[in-house]
Amino acid sequence: MKPLMAALALTTALTLPSLALARQVTLTTTLNAYGGNGAYLALYVTDAQGAYKGSLWMAGGKTKYHEHLSDWYRATGGNTAEINGITGASVGSGRELSITLDLADALFDAGYVLHIDAAVEDMRNSPSEIAVPLTTAGAGQPTPGRRYIASFAYTM
Amino acid sequence: MKTTLAILAATTALGAVFALTTLNLAHAGNRPTAADADQKSWVQLVSGDDDEGQDEDCEDEDDDDGEGEDGHDAACLPVQNAAPAGTVAPPANGLFGSTTPPKVQVN
């Protein structure tokens, strides 16, 4: 019995810290009814110094259009390795995109900023249309966009 | 008898010469000439224009209307398109707390 309890305690001790290192976050982006084709959106994170850290989601799979997500493209050079496994369809005018993912706990309250670049075919590019600090206090607070995005919010 | 054989040999020889000459002329007709080469280049240029036309078709054929589908035209896709979500794990960029693929919903 004792070895079993010891094993249980050990696995619990090993599992709990990993659970605490990540939190499930839902990113919700609502688009304006701008009337054009589906919007390409790049969601990515910069650190406190403004340096690109990585991408969270790419809405729009055709690589040839990614250069229109100009801030993201400048930071990554359009490297598809940055968005492998986190790429989906573009988002239609007036639609709402919800992404639920496990984010590292260290991203919150540490100066990291979540950006969204937006672009629509035959319409103007909108780099960093959203730039919102990742904080626990900011969860659930909607942030308005400038052109294609009506609002963005993250919940935990 | 000898005369008959001589005539037969002569006609055979003449026939053979005539046949060979005809064959050579026929081959000469198919041989590429400088003018042919020019024509071929022109044809290739025309063919190149056709290819450009196809590329333009690809550019025009943009069906990214955000209705949940993302029209993948294999002939027009660059080879380095990113792997769609769910097919591989998210990148190990330190942002994700696990290798679980993000769940996405469009309303």
Distance from CA of A62 to the nearest CA of B (A): 7
CATH code where residue A74 lies: 2.60.40
What is the extent of the structural domain holding A78? 21-155
Distance from CA of A60 to the nearest CA of B (A): 7
A105 contact B CB<8A: yes
Of B66, B93, B95, the CB nearest to A90: B66
Q: What is the DSSP letter of A51?
A: -
Structure confidence at residue B12 (pLDDT): 59
Quick check: is A102 in a domain?
Answer: yes
Structure tokens at A49: 């110094």
C-alpha to C-alpha distance for A103 and A98, rounded to whole angstroms: 15
Write the single-letter amino acid at A109.
D
Of B62, B94, B102, the CB nearest to A101: B102
Distance from CA of A5 to the nearest CA of B (A): 28
Quick check: is A7 in a domain?
Answer: no
Largest CA distance in chain B: 108
C-alpha to C-alpha distance for B52 and A22, rounded to whole angstroms: 50
Residue B47 scores a pLDDT above 80: no
Nearest one of A114, A91, A98 to A33, comparing CA atoms: A91
List helix spans (H) across chain A.
2-20, 70-76
C-alpha to C-alpha distance for B3 and B7, rounded to whole angstroms: 6
Structure tokens at A58: 């790419």
Computed on alpha carbons and rounded to an integer, the radius of gyration of chain A in Å comes to 18
Quick check: is A101 in a domain?
Answer: yes
Largest CA distance in chain A: 70
C-alpha to C-alpha distance for A36 and A39, rounded to whole angstroms: 8
| Contact call for B69 and A89, based on CB within 8 A | yes
Residues 41-80 of A with CB under 8 A from B: 45, 53-58, 60-65, 80
Which residues lie across from A141 on neighbouring strands? none
Model pLDDT for residues A96-105, shown as the tens digit of each residue: 999 999 999 9
Quick check: is A37 in a domain?
Answer: yes
| Contact call for A104 and B65, based on CB within 8 A | no
Structural domains counted in chain A = 1
CA torsion angle A26 B84 A93 A121 (round to 10): 140
Nearest one of B99, B79, B98 to B88, comparing CA atoms: B99
Model pLDDT for residues A67-81, shown as the tens digit of each residue: 999 999 999 999 999
Residue of B20 and A75 predicted with greater confidence: A75
Model pLDDT for residues B52-79, shown as the tens digit of each residue: 333 334 444 444 444 444 444 444 544 5
In the structure, what pLDDT confidence band is assigned to residue B81 with cuts at 50, 70 and 90? confident
Structure confidence at residue A21 (pLDDT): 84
Residue B107 scores a pLDDT above 60: yes
Residue B51 scores a pLDDT above 50: no
Residues 112-151 of A with CB under 8 A from B: 121
Query: Which pTM does this prediction carry?
Result: 0.66
What contacts A114, CB < 8 A, 6 or more positions away? A27, A43, A44, A45, A56, A130, A131, A132, A133, A134, A154
Burial of B56 (0-12, 13-18, 19+ CB in 10 A): exposed
Quick check: is A51 in a domain?
Answer: yes
The residue behind tokens 């054009």 is A36
Q: What percent of chain B has pLDDT over 70?
A: 26
